[in-house]
Structure 1
Amino acid sequence: MGALTLPTGIGYTAMIAAYARAQEAKQDNPLFVDPLADLFVAAATGLVPGTNLPRLGPIRIDDESLLWDFLSALFCGRTPFFDAHIKQHVGAGIRQIVILAAGLDTRAFRMNLPATTTVYEIDTPEVLDFKAAVLADEQPTATRVAVPADLREDWAGALTAAGFRPNVRTLWLVEGLLMYFDAAAADNLLATISSLSLPANGLLTETIIRKPVMQDVPEIVGSEDEAVTRLFMEAFRTPPYRNVGDWMSSQRWRCDEAVTLAEQLTRVNRPIPEIVRRCAADPFGTVLASSVKLQD
């Protein structure tokens, strides 16, 4: 297919993440099934949901792409980690979940959350409008509240105005976001979350160990994947700390679990992408973490 024209306001990474989830559902032994991911892909490509997925940027069905090996492993490998922790927190009684930069996340629909659970999805109006149109005929199992807000502005005020209660135990999900924040912005985001959190609140995060550079992926340079690679490299920022536990403790959170993408993929019996293997000596990869708010 030709160049993809995305719906207004929908980011490239959000769409290829949905694409990866749609592909995962077609595996013989999928790590999870997101039955709605196909709908987003169809809305962006014009295909009928359930038909063969088209080629999309670095995505390949018919040949090899080191970049797509990495992106699909990232987008699908991290999902079981966060899903398991969400189930654990809900099982422990948490009934308020906030997803920052929710994008095309469908956990309120696909995870069979209790009806007494409220899921707040924060994202830009354009993303939430597109999502609402695509999912107009779908029903979440939990109460889903869309919160139109820019994370660079007063998103906490918008969240509270939408019904969020800071005095109720909450699980925060910050997935696919912090790698695009510089240290100051990441610190500010964590401080805002902390100001809205009770002790024993949960926080699930995805961070990077260091900012990647083009030299990490020399075989991609010069190929048709180069433009997409540079898109990611230029968007990523230097993380606040190389150790996510240190960062969490700086604002009174205790990191109970932190695993690299490679460790997570090994857990779920999936191959480690060549890009991750190549950078093993000085990794830039994702760290998935679960933390708990401490007493101030």
Structure 2
Amino acid sequence: MVPLGGGTRGLLLYLFKKGTRGETKRGKQQTWKRWWLSWTLPLPSLFIIKTGQRRRIRFSFLSRTLVLCVALFPYPQDTPKTFTFTSLFPTTCINSFMHCLQLPFPLLFEPSPDNATMSEHENGPLEHPPWPDMKLPERLLTGAIRELHSKIESQWDPLRQSACQTAAGRALWKHAVNDPLADILAGETYLRRLHEKMKNDQINNAREVSGVILAVRTLWFDSKIEAAVSSFEDGEAQVVLLGAGMDTRAYRLSFLKDSHIFEVDFDDVLQVKAALIDAAEKDKHSQVKAKSLTRLAADIREEDWLEKLKQSGYNSERSTVWVLEGILYYLPPSHAMEVLKIIADKCTYTKTVLLADFMNKPSTTLSNSTFQFYSDWPDRLLPSLGFSDVKLSQIGDPDANFGLMNDDPLNLFNKLRSLPRSLQIHPEDGTPCRRLYLVQASGSPIQVLS
């Protein structure tokens, strides 16, 4: 290895800070991981051969750091090739390398075959995919769990089923999203369906892997909820999840320990969700981390949902974060607007933060029978309703990246971000410019009066 000089280190540090400006701490960590992986890709891939059996050992980016010095040693020409290592391949854990260090036999090294390129290791052999074959947890295969998910598949409409689709995305992107309950809430069918899409994307060298939007969206909402809760100065906060579905933030986010969580959704959704989580009651992850969790059976398309919320303990004078993740575009326009107006009205009473995702008009064409509400300019709509501060992000922006988006200019999200938002059709290929806007809006009595 060649040590980096002080000037080189300084230049790399400057480029890293510039490239991650505006990102959260987690986003910077993910970006650094991506940069490191891209730098180490020219290394060959790692195998161990013992008694004639050749076995691949796959490493995480941390392991590659440790192996880097070892892998670059010259191959000793006069030593028998009993145990052979060649190169590195990204994935799995550091334990494999530590076990190799403790082996009671010498490690010998050889260079990669001349005809083996890193692109073949990265994109190629299907026996070593970045998305390995899915192993379902045993708890998901029990009769009670299968019966609950059979009910979901046969009786729920697309709006309700979207909750399981979101949970599947969080479960399969677990290297980025920490949601230990996601698999049991998603169910076998939705896990396998998304996993198959992800494998096909990898086989076809797709620039975007299925589920990445769900992962980025989840991380964006997590980070914005944390920022909002920490900004409240009046002690205990409230977080209201409208259309909560299979959301588990009350179970997995420790920064909600002083917050009261309200999950609002259809009665059948909340009942099935509670039953699924109860089935995992022996799991340490099924313990609520929030100060309190209240589930409220209500339809936000009806007029009485707010009154029901108040009767369940919601305090209209307490600072509140309203979360509308993956729900607005399923509502009829009149109902979606009414929900937004009700939340905006809270700005006159207390500090209020709205976190929501909006589809633009071309996005609704993905399913005209399912998606109804859209807004091409939510950053103009929300101020007209009473919010005083509105910030809009698109997938791939510095605060909506988290190291999960590559820098390829032909990446779908990068292509969209490079075009004016007013365009409905891509000028080059004629495809619809489908955008998902992640929007943070806030207001308070002081801001309203000013």
2:166 to 10, 17, 20: 17
Secondary structure of 2:270's aligned partner? helix
Structure 1 runs not aligned, ≥5 long: 47-52, 215-228
Aligned to 2:183: 38
Residues 35-65 of structure 1: CA deviation (Å, up to 9, x unaligned): 1101213xx339xxxxxx9522684253238
1:236 aligns with 2:371: yes
Deviation of 1:292 after TM superposition, in Å, equals 0.7
Instruction: Give distance in 2, aligned partners of 1:38 and 1:183.
Output: 32
Distance 1:277 1:235, change over 3 A: farther
Once the two structures are superposed, the pairs formed by residues 51-62 of structure 1 within 5 Å of their partners are 54-56=191-193, 59-62=196-199
Distance 1:92 1:164, change over 3 A: same
1:146 aligns with 2:295: yes
Secondary structure of 2:254's aligned partner? coil
Q: What residue identity is the alignment partner of 2:200?
A: D
Aligned to 2:114: none
Instruction: Please say if residues 18 and 40 of structure 1, whose CA atoms lie closer than 8 Å, have aligned partners that are also in contact.
Output: yes
CA RMSD of aligned residues (A): 3.0
More helix by share: 2
Greater CA deviation, 258-267 or 89-98?
A: 258-267
Instruction: Give distance in 2, aligned partners of 1:68 and 1:151.
Output: 37
Which TM-score applies when normalising by structure 1? Answer: 0.78
Instruction: Give distance in 1, aligned partners of 2:400 and 2:251.
Output: 28
Aligned to 2:253: 111
Instruction: Give distance in 2, aligned partners of 1:131 and 1:85.
Output: 25
Aligned to 2:306: 156
Aligned to 1:49: none
Distance 1:139 1:98, change over 3 A: same
Instruction: Please say if residues 322 and 354 of structure 2, whose CA atoms lie closer than 8 Å, have aligned partners that are also in contact.
Output: yes
Distance 1:59 1:102, change over 3 A: farther
Secondary structure of 2:211's aligned partner? helix
Instruction: Give distance in 1, aligned partners of 2:306 and 2:354.
Output: 16
Instruction: Please say if residues 101 and 121 of structure 1, whose CA atoms lie closer than 8 Å, have aligned partners that are also in contact.
Output: yes
Aligned to 2:239: 97
Aligned to 2:317: 167
1:204 aligns with 2:355: yes
Instruction: Give distance in 1, aligned partners of 2:306 and 2:207.
Output: 35
Which TM-score applies when normalising by structure 2? Answer: 0.53
Deviation of 1:89 after TM superposition, in Å, equals 1.6
Instruction: Please say if residues 238 and 260 of structure 2, whose CA atoms lie closer than 8 Å, have aligned partners that are also in contact.
Output: yes
Residues 260-287 of structure 1: CA deviation (Å, up to 9, x unaligned): 1232687322237965567655332110
Distance 1:152 1:256, change over 3 A: closer
Greater relative CO, 1 or 2 (CA 8 Å, sep 6+): 1
Q: What residue identity is the alignment partner of 1:118?
A: H
Distance 1:115 1:276, change over 3 A: closer
Instruction: Give distance in 2, aligned partners of 1:119 and 1:177.
Output: 18
2:402 to 257, 260, 268: 268
Instruction: Please say if residues 81 and 264 of structure 1, whose CA atoms lie closer than 8 Å, have aligned partners that are also in contact.
Output: no
Instruction: Please say if residues 352 and 442 of structure 2, whose CA atoms lie closer than 8 Å, have aligned partners that are also in contact.
Output: yes
Deviation of 1:183 after TM superposition, in Å, equals 3.1
Deviation of 1:104 after TM superposition, in Å, equals 0.4
Aligned to 1:72: 211
Q: What residue identity is the alignment partner of 1:55?
A: R
Q: Which has the larger radius of gyration?
A: 2
Secondary structure of 2:363's aligned partner? coil
Instruction: Give distance in 2, aligned partners of 1:274 and 1:58.
Output: 21
Instruction: Give distance in 2, aligned partners of 1:201 and 1:9.
Output: 33
2:276 to 120, 134, 158: 134
Secondary structure of 1:21's aligned partner? helix
Instruction: Please say if residues 203 and 291 of structure 1, whose CA atoms lie closer than 8 Å, have aligned partners that are also in contact.
Output: yes
Secondary structure of 2:269's aligned partner? helix
Instruction: Give distance in 2, aligned partners of 1:255 and 1:291.
Output: 6
Instruction: Please say if residues 217 and 400 of structure 2, whose CA atoms lie closer than 8 Å, have aligned partners that are also in contact.
Output: no
Instruction: Give distance in 1, aligned partners of 2:214 and 2:435.
Output: 13
Instruction: Give distance in 1, aligned partners of 2:172 and 2:196.
Output: 10
Secondary structure of 1:103's aligned partner? coil
Structure 2 runs not aligned, ≥5 long: 1-148, 425-432
Q: What residue identity is the alignment partner of 2:269?
A: V
Instruction: Please say if residues 239 and 259 of structure 2, whose CA atoms lie closer than 8 Å, have aligned partners that are also in contact.
Output: yes
Q: What residue identity is the alignment partner of 2:274?
A: A
How many pairs align? 265
Aligned to 1:295: 448
Report percent identity of matched pairs: 22
Deviation of 1:131 after TM superposition, in Å, equals 1.0
Secondary structure of 2:438's aligned partner? strand
Q: What residue identity is the alignment partner of 1:78?
A: R
Instruction: Give distance in 1, aligned partners of 2:208 and 2:151.
Output: 22
Q: What residue identity is the alignment partner of 2:182?
A: A
Secondary structure of 1:55's aligned partner? helix
Aligned to 1:224: none
Distance 1:57 1:117, change over 3 A: closer
Greater CA deviation, 254-263 or 129-138?
A: 254-263
Q: What residue identity is the alignment partner of 2:361?
A: R
